[in-house]
Amino acid sequence: MLKFPKNFQIGASMSAMQTEGRGTTKIGKLTMDTYFEEHPQLFHNQVGPELTSDITNHYVEDIGLFKEIGLDSLRTGFSWARLFPDGVTLNQEAVEYYHKFIQEFKKQNIKIFMTLFHFDMPMWAHELGGWSSNEVIEKFVNYCNFVFQEFENEVDYYVTFNEPLVTVFEGYTGVMHYPAINEPKLAAQQAYGIFLAHAKVVQSFRKFQLKAPIGVVYNWNFTFPFSQSQADIKAARIYDAYVNRGPLNIMANGTIDPVLIQTLKDYQVLPKYTPEELEIIKAVKVDFLGINYYFPCRVKSIASTNPSWVLETMKIEIPKTAKINPYRGWEIYPQGLYDISMAIKTEFNNIPWYVAENGMGVENEDQYRGSDGVINDDYRIEYLQDHMGQIKKGLDNGSSCFGYHIWTAIDCWSFRNAYKNRYGLIEVNLKDQSRKLKKSAYWYQELIKNKDK
Which residue in 20, 331, 357, 427 is the catalytic one? Answer: 357
CATH class of domain segment(s) 9-450: alpha beta
Looking at every residue in the chain, the average pLDDT score rounds to: 97
**What span, in angstroms and rounded, lies between the C-alpha atoms of 373 and 429?**
12
Predicted model pTM: 0.97
**Residues 368-417 pLDDT 10s:** 999 999 999 999 999 999 999 999 999 999 999 999 999 999 999 999 99
Going by pLDDT thresholds of 50, 70 and 90, the confidence category of residue 453 is confident
Q: In a 3-state reduction of DSSP, which class is residue 19?
A: helix
Q: Which amino acid type is present at position 15?
A: S
Q: How confident is the model at residue 298, as a pLDDT?
A: 98
Neighbouring C-beta atoms of residue 318, cutoff 10 Å: 17
Active site residue 357: yes
Radius of gyration for the chain, computed over Cα atoms and rounded to the nearest angstrom: 21
- 256 to 165, 216, 265: CA distances (angstroms): 15, 16, 14
Going by pLDDT thresholds of 50, 70 and 90, the confidence category of residue 177 is very high
Phi, psi of 262 (to 5 degrees): -65, -45
Active site residue 138: no
| Residue ranges with strand state E in 214-279 | 214-219, 223-225
Q: In a 3-state reduction of DSSP, which class is residue 108?
A: coil
Q: Which amino acid type is present at position 136?
A: V
Phi, psi of 316 (to 5 degrees): -90, 130
**What span, in angstroms and rounded, lies between the C-alpha atoms of 105 and 64?**
9
Q: In a 3-state reduction of DSSP, which class is residue 354?
A: strand
**Residues 301-314 pLDDT 10s:** 999 999 999 999 99
Pairing mode of beta strands 223-225, 214-219 = unpaired
Q: In a 3-state reduction of DSSP, which class is residue 295?
A: coil
Of 92, 159, 225, 191, nearest in space to 357 by CA:
159
Residue 220 · residue 246 · CB < 8 Å: no
State the first-to-last Cα distance of the chain, in angstroms, to the nearest integer.
Answer: 15
Q: Which residues pair with 99 in a beta bridge?
A: none
Average pLDDT over residues 301-329: 96
Indicate the DSSP class of residue 424.
Answer: -
Q: In a 3-state reduction of DSSP, which class is residue 14?
A: coil
Residue 83 · residue 143 · CB < 8 Å: yes
Of 360, 405, 452, 434, nearest in space to 69 by CA:
405
Indicate the DSSP class of residue 246.
Answer: H
Q: Where are the alpha helices (DSSP H) in 72-114?
A: 80-83, 92-107
Which residue in 20, 163, 331, 365 is the catalytic one? Answer: 163
Q: How confident is the model at residue 321, as a pLDDT?
A: 96
Average pLDDT over residues 213-218: 98
Going by pLDDT thresholds of 50, 70 and 90, the confidence category of residue 127 is very high
Query: Which residues have CB under 8 Å from 323's CB, separation 6+?
Result: 331, 332, 333
Residue 365 · residue 377 · CB < 8 Å: yes
**Residues 236-268 pLDDT 10s:** 999 999 999 999 999 999 999 999 999 999 999
Q: How confident is the model at residue 404, as a pLDDT?
A: 98
Query: Which residues have CB under 8 Å from 168's CB, separation 6+?
Result: 131, 187, 190, 191, 194
Sign of CA dihedral 52, 22, 198, 259: positive
Residue ranges of domains in the chain: 9-450
Residue 246 · residue 319 · CB < 8 Å: no
**Residues 267-295 pLDDT 10s:** 999 999 999 999 999 999 999 999 999 99
